[in-house]
A = this chain, B = another copy of it.
Amino acid sequence: MTDAGLSAELVAVVMAVDRGRPFVVASGEPPALPAGPLRADEESLQAGVREFAREHMGFELGYVEQLYTFADLGRSTDGRRVISISYLGLTRAEISGSERPTDWSALYDLLPWEDRRHLESGTGSDRLGEEIEAALQRWSGDDGDRLERCRFLFGYDERVWRPDLALQRYELLWETGLVAESPCAAKISALTAGPMVNDHRRILATGLSRLRAKLQYRPVVFELMPEVFTLGELQETVEAIAGQSVHKQNFRRAVEVQHELVEPTGDVSHDTGGRPAKLYRFRRSVRQERDQVGTKLPIPRAAR
């Protein structure tokens, strides 16, 4: 049944990690994820996303996966129904600090509370975290369910922080009016600089959640890595996405134990600051197989 007011678009969450810093394609003011109308001649949506990235951003996506389809009313500012089919795309683009193209944004500028790497060992003053905790406390009041939900999602009171709950955390912050997009975000929500277009921050959080979850059981990290890399760099990338650090020795054990996941190139890298590191390459041959199955890289589903 064709509906006069119906339109469909593709929205992409395209991520890359450069030396421990995760980026996402988002540009404009307010920032927006890349999106385009669904063209009538596209055979497959997946291919459509790839082509879109190629044409508009100028690079190949190594990995593409459908995320979620948003179609609720009231998503966009005008009242029409827009169906947004969102995709996650990973690439190896190098976004170096200096002349970074304007359409890459630092991921954790858009979702600041999701990066916890700084406050891990010892005493990082966690102003943001404390602010959130206080605000959530206020919001919860005496409501036990609310309290429990906050505890659970943000790891208060001895509970663990689970990186892959990024989406649920966003939704909680949205409900409580702490992100700029919230309908009830009256006051300055210091958490996010300003709003993003429509529900793009939610879509972004969806992508991050999915990627973090996937990291634990699929070899997707390699889509973010250059051809050859050291185990340290691999770990750094995982940590960048997960937003928290992992035990180094156990990380390499996990990689080594995965039979034939990576292979040494024979060379070593000297810009480590210490002992040179062996260089490895991802064994693409196992990819098709592993792609469907499991590869377990140890992102602590639990930290603290």
| A contacts, CB < 8 Å to B | 1-9, 37-38, 40, 42-45, 66, 68-69, 71-74, 81, 83, 85, 145, 148-149, 152-153, 162, 165, 168, 288-289, 292-294, 301
Q: Give complex CA distance A7, B2 in Å.
A: 5
Q: List 6 A-B contacts (CB under 8 A).
A: A1-B9, A2-B7, A38-B71, A43-B72, A148-B289, A153-B292
CA distance A220 to B292 in the complex (A): 23
**Are A83's CB and B8's CB within 8 A?**
yes
Q: Given the complex of chains A and B, what is the CA–CA distance between A281 and B295 in angstroms?
A: 35
Report whether A72 and B44 are in contact in the complex, using a CB–CB cutoff of 8 Å: yes
Which of B7, B162, B293 contacts A152 (CB under 8 A)? B293
Within 8 Å CB of A2, what residues of B? Answer: 4-7
Closest B residue to A145 by beta carbon equals B288
Contacting pair A7 B6 (CB below 8 A)? yes
Copies in the complex: 2
Is there contact, CB below 8 Å, between A83 and B83? yes
Q: 10 additional contacts, CB 8 Å, given A1-B37, A3-B37? A: A6-B40, A8-B8, A8-B71, A38-B71, A44-B72, A44-B73, A148-B289, A149-B288, A152-B293, A162-B293
The residue that A5 contacts in the complex, of B40, B71, B293, with Cβ under 8 A, is B40
User: A165 vs B290: C-alpha distance in the bound complex, in angstroms?
Assistant: 12
CA distance A162 to B290 in the complex (A): 13
The answer to whether B72 touches A45, judged by C-beta atoms less than 8 angstroms apart, is: yes
The 7 closest A-B pairs by CB, nearest first: A1-B37, A69-B69, A44-B72, A2-B7, A168-B292, A69-B85, A43-B73
Q: Is the CB of B1 within 8 A of A292?
A: no
Q: Which residues of B contact A293 (CB under 8 A)?
A: 152, 162, 165
Q: Are B43 and A74 in contact (CB under 8 A)?
A: yes
Q: Please, which residue of chain B has its CB at the minimum distance from the CB of A71? A: B45
Known A1-B7, A2-B7, A72-B45: A292·B152 in contact at CB below 8 Å: yes
Distance between Cα atoms of A44 and B7 in the complex (Å): 16
In the bound complex, CA of A74 to CA of B85 (Å) = 18
Q: In this complex, what residue of B is CB-closest to A2?
A: B7
Closest to A47 in B: B72
Residue of chain B at shortest CB distance from A168: B292
Partner of A301, one of B9, B72, B74, B294: B294
